[in-house]
Structure 1
Amino acid sequence: MTRETILFVDDEDHLRLSAEQTLHLEDLDVTCFSDAATALSHVARDFPGILVTDIRMPGMDGLTLMAKVLEIDPEFPVILVTGHGDVDLAVQSMRDGAYDFLEKPYAPSRLVTTVRRALDKRRLTQENRALRRQVGARDTIEARLTGRSEVMTKLRAQVRAIAATEADVLIQGATGTGKEVAARAIHRASARDGKPFVHINCAALPADLIESELFGHEAGAFPGATRARFGKFEHARGGTVFLDEIDAMSQPVQAKLLTAIQNRTVTRLGSNDPIALDVRFIAASKQDLEAEAAAGTFRPDLLYRLNVVTLRIPDLEDRREDIPRLFTHLVAEAAARYKLPIPEIPGAVLTAVAARKWTGNVRELRNAADRFALGLDLDIGNPASSGAEGRSLADSMAEHEKSLIAASLTAHGGSLKDTYESLGLSRKALYEKMQKHGLSRGSFTDEG
């Protein structure tokens, strides 16, 4: 990662030397210039640093320099250094886009504090930009199925392999894990992208209308059927039919669905003429359909037709190391959806989010991210370690430790120094714990 640099501009030699020594003592990189034009040549939109400039200088003055810098990047932090008589001018400059100002003579500690705050702001700006580029550049599957845990990496590989085929798919997972998201990712990454994706919630269809909704009907097929109507299966021609909560279907409808899947035809109510279907079926259930089939509540032959390929979506509890980065990603999505700036997420919030038990899985985490993006209070009680039923204390504590380290790494962009200092560990201790939990620094940086 490129080191953050402070561009310091002043035409007085002793002030440049003093600022350089002060900032170097604080382990901050600074490059000094005696004129504005030379400093301006170093500024670029993605420059990882800030500008500190005197206002009164021969040639190009500090205000002109600031205006030119903000033309290159309106979010570039500029700190103005003023004489006693220029305070009103500096205040007006802040309305014009300056980040802050320092009045001569300023204490070295004041310079360091102001510079650090400006660098923090610049870092956040660049992280937000990198996140937007990341979201825009990632392939469809990566963007929809976010996470760097082993189970999510494996799931994405399975989805990529499945998307390239025409095989029907059964997706199983608990409520809120993202079964529909996985189904849409398969559709978007397949040759059927651009054709309809028809989502059918089987549990929400009225029992007396379900056949008409799925298969369509001819005029006069039943009282009130005044004209012929396409069913949802026909509407999906060329695309994908997603049968959500398929276990809610009655046995008679399951039999008709089996025929449709097996023959790739559909017969409207009131007709004897089969209509060819060019669709792919993806079904989803939060129930174990094999157990349902064994109990006689789900047709075994339909199960065997559907589960040519079976995907199992993991609970959030099974990929806790993904929670901090996933929360960050969902906050960015929410901010874009509500047309708001992406808020800064304090490390303490990420730590608390990582420690919480998300019984509603990604859906519950998304709701929390929406509230955070809207500036609402975030209820982050109920730590995960207190609800780890059926697990030993050692396992629960290890999982909790892993999620806290992942949260801190996420909050600090993969910086080991900032992470071990925030956690009160030595560098060696942090490294050993990362090795123990299978955490890699590269997974928490933009390059990762």
Structure 2
Amino acid sequence: MSDVPILLVDDDDALRNALVQSFQLADLAVEAFADGAGALSRLSAGFDGAVVSDIRMPRMDGLELFRQVAAIDPEIPVILMTGHADVPMAVSALKSGVFDFIAKPFATDHLIASARRALEMRRLVLDNRHLRAAADESANGELLIGETPAMIRLRDNMRQVADAEVDILIEGETGTGKELVATLLHRWSRRRGRPFIAINCAALPDKIAEVDLFGQESGRTLQSGRITRANKGSLFLDEIESSPAWLQGALLRVLEEREVMPVGAEQPLAVDLRVVAATKPGIDASVAEGRFRADLLYRLDMVRLRIPPLRERRADIPLLFGYLLHQAADQMKREVPRIGPDIRAYLADHDWPGNVRELANFAKRAVLGMHADVASAESQMALAQQVEQFEAAVIRRVLERVQGDARSAMAELELPRKTFYDKLNRHGIEIDDYRK
């Protein structure tokens, strides 16, 4: 039975009891009151249900109840039940904001259908409020949005190490926000206000890369490189796992000696750096396969921060989407769209392999009214791929519900231990990320 309540108000005991039974048979939770005062005591601006009330009642009639409900929150749906003589009054109330009116005598199915529509509308209203509020969630421009245990733990770990003079390795899939984490580490450190220099190790121009990074000395002229320009500040090495062999060796010297040898120079230059590197998952395998230097990884890996992908923190998606939606609307100078059931379903069901970057693109499509194209493309995926995504989503939702308790998850999913852990490995699910 749904736990979203219908507040039913009617002074006729027999009709009230009959309607209670009808709502319950329709799998809708209901609380019944003989007068409007009792129902009002249950209401607040965050109420997630609907009000169904008779119009003709002593002390407080249905129209007065509607006015008082609207004073609490004008978007709480109110359905009025009315006799034939009161129809003109009910039509006038509709123009004032009443959600619906049901003329007596009525078929119970008619009332149930109207109540379901009211609950759906209320859910959309609250979802949109939640999404709008997300734009204000990040204090002081700190946009690492999320309230799941994995994100709270990540922010706590960042705070602990931000001011420590240690090098840090950030691990995360494409689009999870590795540069954002590096930027916040710099902003939260005592080096804030000093340079933050970002280098993409996978996109360095071959012929000038060494001069670009380490600088060049020609006669008495010294051309500073990007690493030197990070002196007293932070150096961010993005996609470190893709750096060529020659760069790995050169970076190892920078990390160990804290000095840079410009091209053509005879003496190195000392640099005071805090190094933050970022990698996609799999750098340990690259070391095992000889594609990445073990000594460089050991030097970088003093502290490793893992950013969970969106599929492991699905409860954060509406909050994050709300921020991105407002950001996209501001950039495009468009109105923020209402979030309908199609968008909510896509947010909940999609696996988001592109993570925050993909979510940001979806927010832009939603602002432009083109989100249906994305959902349509999703429906054309191969059946096996859709089944895999569905299975992974079910497992993640169960793990989130049981807070990472493996035994409870196996029991709920009705899976033996080996099968359970095989599925975790196949879908790349880290059970520790769901444990508080």
TM-score higher than 0.5 here? Answer: yes
| Residues 167-201 of structure 1: per-residue CA shift (max 9 Å, x gap) | 21234555445543554565566565676654332
Correspondence 1:334 to 2:334: no
- Residue 170 of structure 1: aligned partner: 169
Alpha-carbon contact 2:146-2:320 (below 8 Å) kept: no
Q: For 2:342 and 2:397, locate their aligned partners in 1 and report how far apart those are by CA, in whole Å.
A: 11
Task: Name the SS of the counterpart of 2:75 in structure 1.
Answer: coil
CA deviation after TM superposition for structure 1 residue 386, in Å:
4.8
Q: Alpha carbons of 1:348 and 1:376: their partners in 2 closer, same or farther (altered >3 Å)?
A: closer
Q: How does 1:146-185 map to 2 (within 5 A)?
A: 162-163=161-162, 165-172=164-171, 175-176=174-175, 178-184=177-183
| Residues 303-327 of structure 1: per-residue CA shift (max 9 Å, x gap) | 554333455667x6xx96x375465
Q: For 1:66 and 1:29, locate their aligned partners in 2 and report how far apart those are by CA, in whole Å.
A: 21
CA deviation after TM superposition for structure 1 residue 114, in Å:
1.8
Q: Alpha carbons of 1:245 and 1:62: their partners in 2 closer, same or farther (altered >3 Å)?
A: same
Q: For 1:268 and 1:93, locate their aligned partners in 2 and report how far apart those are by CA, in whole Å.
A: 79
Q: How does 1:397-412 map to 2 (within 5 A)?
A: 402-403=391-392, 405-406=394-395
CA deviation after TM superposition for structure 1 residue 217, in Å:
8.6
Q: How does 1:172-251 map to 2 (within 5 A)?
A: 172=171, 175-176=174-175, 178-184=177-183, 186-187=185-186, 197-206=196-205, 214=213, 233=227, 239-246=233-240
Q: For 1:269 and 1:344, locate their aligned partners in 2 and report how far apart those are by CA, in whole Å.
A: 60
Alpha-carbon contact 1:172-1:288 (below 8 Å) kept: no
Q: Alpha carbons of 1:187 and 1:24: their partners in 2 closer, same or farther (altered >3 Å)?
A: same
Q: TM-score, normalised by structure 1?
A: 0.64
CA deviation after TM superposition for structure 1 residue 116, in Å:
2.7
Q: For 1:272 and 1:101, locate their aligned partners in 2 and report how far apart those are by CA, in whole Å.
A: 88
Q: For 1:100 and 1:275, locate their aligned partners in 2 and report how far apart those are by CA, in whole Å.
A: 77
Higher relative CO (CA 8 A, sep ≥ 6), structure 1 or 2?
2
- Residue 428 of structure 2: aligned partner: none
Task: Name the SS of the counterpart of 2:105 in structure 1.
Answer: coil
Q: For 1:278 and 1:247, locate their aligned partners in 2 and report how far apart those are by CA, in whole Å.
A: 23
Q: Alpha carbons of 1:221 and 1:184: their partners in 2 closer, same or farther (altered >3 Å)?
A: same
- Residue 117 of structure 2: aligned partner: 117
CA deviation after TM superposition for structure 1 residue 282, in Å:
1.3
- Residue 82 of structure 1: aligned partner: 82
Please list every run of 5 or more consecutive structure 1 residues that lacks an aligned counterpart in the other structure: 223-227, 388-396, 416-427
Q: Alpha carbons of 1:81 and 1:214: their partners in 2 closer, same or farther (altered >3 Å)?
A: farther
Q: Alpha carbons of 1:433 and 1:198: their partners in 2 closer, same or farther (altered >3 Å)?
A: farther
- Residue 344 of structure 1: aligned partner: 341
Q: For 2:61 and 2:219, locate their aligned partners in 1 and report how far apart those are by CA, in whole Å.
A: 84
Letter in 1 for 2:52: V
CA deviation after TM superposition for structure 1 residue 22, in Å:
2.9
CA deviation after TM superposition for structure 1 residue 76, in Å:
1.5
1:376 to 372, 376, 394: 372
1:431 to 412, 416, 426: 412
| Residues 45-88 of structure 1: per-residue CA shift (max 9 Å, x gap) | 22343212234555544334323322322331222233435545
Q: Alpha carbons of 1:154 and 1:64: their partners in 2 closer, same or farther (altered >3 Å)?
A: closer
Task: Name the SS of the counterpart of 2:341 in structure 1.
Answer: coil
1:284 to 265, 269, 278: 278
Aligned residues: 403
Q: For 1:2 and 1:25, locate their aligned partners in 2 and report how far apart those are by CA, in whole Å.
A: 11
| Residues 199-232 of structure 1: per-residue CA shift (max 9 Å, x gap) | 332444555665676567999988xxxxx99865
Alignment RMSD: 5.5
CA deviation after TM superposition for structure 1 residue 244, in Å:
1.2
CA deviation after TM superposition for structure 1 residue 112, in Å:
1.8
Letter in 2 for 1:168: D
CA deviation after TM superposition for structure 1 residue 239, in Å:
4.8
Q: Alpha carbons of 1:383 and 1:261: their partners in 2 closer, same or farther (altered >3 Å)?
A: same
Please list every run of 5 or more consecutive structure 2 residues that lacks an aligned counterpart in the other structure: 330-335, 403-408, 424-430
Task: Name the SS of the counterpart of 1:242 in structure 2.
Answer: strand
- Residue 30 of structure 1: aligned partner: 30
Q: For 2:226 and 2:163, locate their aligned partners in 1 and report how far apart those are by CA, in whole Å.
A: 24
Alpha-carbon contact 2:146-2:316 (below 8 Å) kept: no
Q: Alpha carbons of 1:153 and 1:323: their partners in 2 closer, same or farther (altered >3 Å)?
A: closer
CA deviation after TM superposition for structure 1 residue 350, in Å:
6.6
CA deviation after TM superposition for structure 1 residue 108, in Å:
1.3
Q: For 1:216 and 1:50, locate their aligned partners in 2 and report how far apart those are by CA, in whole Å.
A: 68
Q: For 1:2 and 1:190, locate their aligned partners in 2 and report how far apart those are by CA, in whole Å.
A: 48
Letter in 1 for 2:341: E
- Residue 104 of structure 1: aligned partner: 104
Q: How does 1:7-156 map to 2 (within 5 A)?
A: 7-57=7-57, 59-84=59-84, 86-87=86-87, 89-123=89-123, 125-126=125-126, 136=137, 143=144
Task: Name the SS of the counterpart of 1:166 in structure 2.
Answer: coil
Q: For 1:26 and 1:238, locate their aligned partners in 2 and report how far apart those are by CA, in whole Å.
A: 67
Letter in 2 for 1:353: H
Identity across matched positions, percent: 39
Letter in 2 for 1:335: L
| Residues 318-354 of structure 1: per-residue CA shift (max 9 Å, x gap) | x96x375465555444334333344435886478535
Alpha-carbon contact 2:325-2:363 (below 8 Å) kept: no
Alpha-carbon contact 2:171-2:281 (below 8 Å) kept: yes
Task: Name the SS of the counterpart of 2:43 in structure 1.
Answer: coil
Alpha-carbon contact 1:324-1:353 (below 8 Å) kept: no
CA deviation after TM superposition for structure 1 residue 137, in Å:
8.9
Q: For 2:101 and 2:193, locate their aligned partners in 1 and report how far apart those are by CA, in whole Å.
A: 53
| Residues 383-403 of structure 1: per-residue CA shift (max 9 Å, x gap) | 58459xxxxxxxxx8x66742
Alpha-carbon contact 1:6-1:30 (below 8 Å) kept: yes
